[in-house]
Amino acid sequence: MSVAFAEPGPFDGAALAFVSRARAAGGVRRRLSGAYLLPDALAEPARRAGLRPSDAGPQTGAQADAAKGDVLPPPPPRIALYRGAAVGYPYWAYYAHALLSVGLVPEPVDAEAILAGALDRADCLVMPGGFATWGLDRAEQRAHLDAAVRSFIDGGGAYVGSCGGAYYASSGRPGWLDAFPLTPRYTQEYLSTGAGLVSVRLGSHALAQGLPPAIEMPYYHGPVYDRPDWPAAEDGPAVAGAFRSLVAPSRLFIDNPLSAERFAEMADRPAILARRDVGGRFVVFSPHPEMGEFVRKGIALDGYVRHYLPIRGTKVMDETLRFYMADESAGFRLIANAVDWLCPQGARGEAGDRPAPAHDPLDRLDPLVACGLAALDRLARQETAEMEGLVRRQAEALSEEWARLRDPLATASGRSAAAIVAVLDAAADDAGPDFETRFAGARLAEALVLCELPVRLASVARRCLLLDAQIAEGSHA
């Protein structure tokens, strides 16, 4: 027997992660219109993960095979996540959190890995924000990186980019991929816009599946395109989302707030571009769907909470901070949709086996979290009593969550355990050397984000490992 479960919604990250991990294990039998068919043995773990039964109801194997329009979902595509010096921490780590949140396990790769052929074992390259704006050869001061990416795309590889990664896919500057025949309004002088929280209106494109008509996400100087006059084509270049409104300016990490006057120039212009045709497979975001709600919380703490705390009081502001989602985000669902749309064939090859991890990666992340909590304690003492109380409650919640996360990863096992642990190890490698320096100059909201990021990475890594264990147990039952 098979049981049909409805498509997860925009804030059902755990449910979406279950589907991804079940696909990786070969446990999803069919994908119907708006539903998944799972073997009966996985029905209870699916319910625990938050999947809701569909109206399709139980089906026998013969009925499932005969269902019109059924497609056997392939294993999820293999994702290479760029973490070279042109990107750096924490930018690539935001994407790691987003991908793991929806059950997709990336392989972090740097310039050396790409030159050594890492893209040969990938189906999709994710280019986070950073300095791919200059072209990889220039930013990394290494030859042949841009050529390697072009070769990957020409060979059928897919590309997802945000902000700097979107510039890199545009036209108009040396090294850029020319995937879209659009030149941003600001290229070399890209800081001319600013930073803020924006609302993006989604179109009727497949990327909008399971999402509301508009979603909010951080924006940091992403490309501002003219409105293209592209003919309607099913898989040709398309605007999949447009800037709708400025929710709030931000000084988080970069003291360059996006003004209402500057946003007026951006309104209704493309925020998301997509194509899947002979010109290549690309989805690019001018804003940052990979920056989770904990980054949005930092933006709010920096501005909204400070402004409204004396107006609405501690209780309302405390609830505002507590009720941001931890590991779920509509932006994460948008990224999952993009990967699925770009790679309908799924993985084009085997992911390859790695030896089981011989260490607990959280041991390496422990000092980072401890450093962050100490910084929050120091900075909170410099605030008003009301703000100090809000921040201390946030720090206490992070400390308690970190304590709860410690055991499961110590016994990490399963087919993808080594790949998941490798993501955490890469984060520790990149964050560790100057983490104390980062906190020394950080403002309160920035310290909160930097402290929470390793916690969020560990949380979604734990989610994937536990789902893998439950799926394996159900499959063997």
Domain ranges in the chain are: 2-66, 79-292+329-342, 362-476
395 vs 398: CA distance, rounded Å: 5
The tens digit of pLDDT for each residue in 135-185 reads: 999 999 999 999 999 999 999 999 999 999 999 999 999 999 999 999 999
Distances (CA, A) of 327 to 315, 459, 460, 461: 23, 8, 7, 11
6 vs 8: CA distance, rounded Å: 6
Q: Indicate whether 214 pLDDT > 70.
A: yes
Q: What is the pLDDT of residue 81?
A: 98
Q: Which residue has the tokens 């001319």?
A: 192
425 vs 422: CA distance, rounded Å: 5
Q: What is the pLDDT of residue 232?
A: 83
Q: At a CB cut-off of 8 Å and minimum separation 6, what does 407 contact?
A: none
Mean pLDDT is lowest, of 40-54, 104-118, 160-174, for: 40-54
Q: Indicate whether 67 pLDDT > 70.
A: no
Continuous H helices in 323-443: 330-342, 362-380, 385-405, 417-431, 435-440
Q: What is the pLDDT of residue 32?
A: 67
Distances (CA, A) of 357 to 42, 130, 354, 468: 27, 30, 9, 15
Q: What is the pLDDT of residue 242?
A: 98
Q: Indicate whether 410 pLDDT > 60.
A: no
Considering Cα of 276, then 170, then 139, then 198, what sign does the dihedral take?
A: negative
For residue 459, name the pLDDT band (cuts at 50, 70, 90). very high
- Residue 1, number of CB atoms within 10 A of its CB: 13
Average pLDDT over residues 252-271: 97
368 vs 362: CA distance, rounded Å: 10
Q: What is the pLDDT of residue 268?
A: 97
Mean pLDDT is lowest, of 30-34, 88-92, 313-317, 400-404, for: 30-34
Q: Indicate whether 430 pLDDT > 70.
A: yes
Three-class SS of 131-182: CHHHCHHHHHCCCCHHHHHHHHHHCCCEEEEECHHHHHCCCCCCCCCCCCCC
Q: What is the pLDDT of residue 65?
A: 44
Q: What is the pLDDT of residue 409?
A: 64
- Residue 260, number of CB atoms within 10 A of its CB: 11
Q: Indicate whether 231 pLDDT > 80.
A: yes
Mean pLDDT is lowest, of 252-261, 354-363, 451-460, for: 354-363
Distance between alpha carbon 224 and the CA centroid of its chain, in Å?
Answer: 21
Q: What is the pLDDT of residue 349?
A: 86
Q: Which residue has the tokens 């993006």?
A: 200
CATH class of 79-292+329-342: alpha beta
Average pLDDT over residues 390-405: 97
298 vs 275: CA distance, rounded Å: 33
Q: Indicate whether 395 pLDDT > 50.
A: yes
Continuous H helices in 61-134: 61-66, 91-101, 111-115
Nearest to 201 by CA among 266, 257, 113: 266
Average pLDDT over residues 9-29: 88
Q: Using only C-alpha atoms, what is the Rg of the chain?
A: 22
* Cβ atoms of 87 and 125 closer than 8 Å: no
205 vs 136: CA distance, rounded Å: 30
Q: What is the pLDDT of residue 66?
A: 41
Kindly state the helix (H) or strand (E) to which residue 79 belongs, with its residue range: strand 79-82
Q: Indicate whether 438 pLDDT > 90.
A: no
287 vs 302: CA distance, rounded Å: 19
Q: What is the pLDDT of residue 355?
A: 67
475 vs 477: CA distance, rounded Å: 6
Q: What is the pLDDT of residue 465?
A: 92
Strand, coil or helix: 88: coil
* Cβ atoms of 198 and 313 closer than 8 Å: no
Task: Number of helices (H) and strands (E) in the chain: give both, helices first.
Answer: 17, 12
Nearest to 166 by CA among 252, 239, 107, 105: 239
For residue 351, name the pLDDT band (cuts at 50, 70, 90). confident
For residue 233, name the pLDDT band (cuts at 50, 70, 90). confident
Q: Which range in 34-43, 272-281, 347-356 is most confidently predicted, on average pLDDT?
A: 272-281
pLDDT averaged over every residue in the chain: 91
For residue 56, name the pLDDT band (cuts at 50, 70, 90). low
For residue 408, name the pLDDT band (cuts at 50, 70, 90). low
Nearest to 174 by CA among 210, 145, 216: 145
Q: What is the pLDDT of residue 62?
A: 41
Q: Indicate whether 4 pLDDT > 50.
A: yes
Q: What is the pLDDT of residue 154?
A: 97
22: left (phi over 0), alpha (psi -120 to 50) or beta: alpha
Q: Indicate whether 476 pLDDT > 70.
A: no
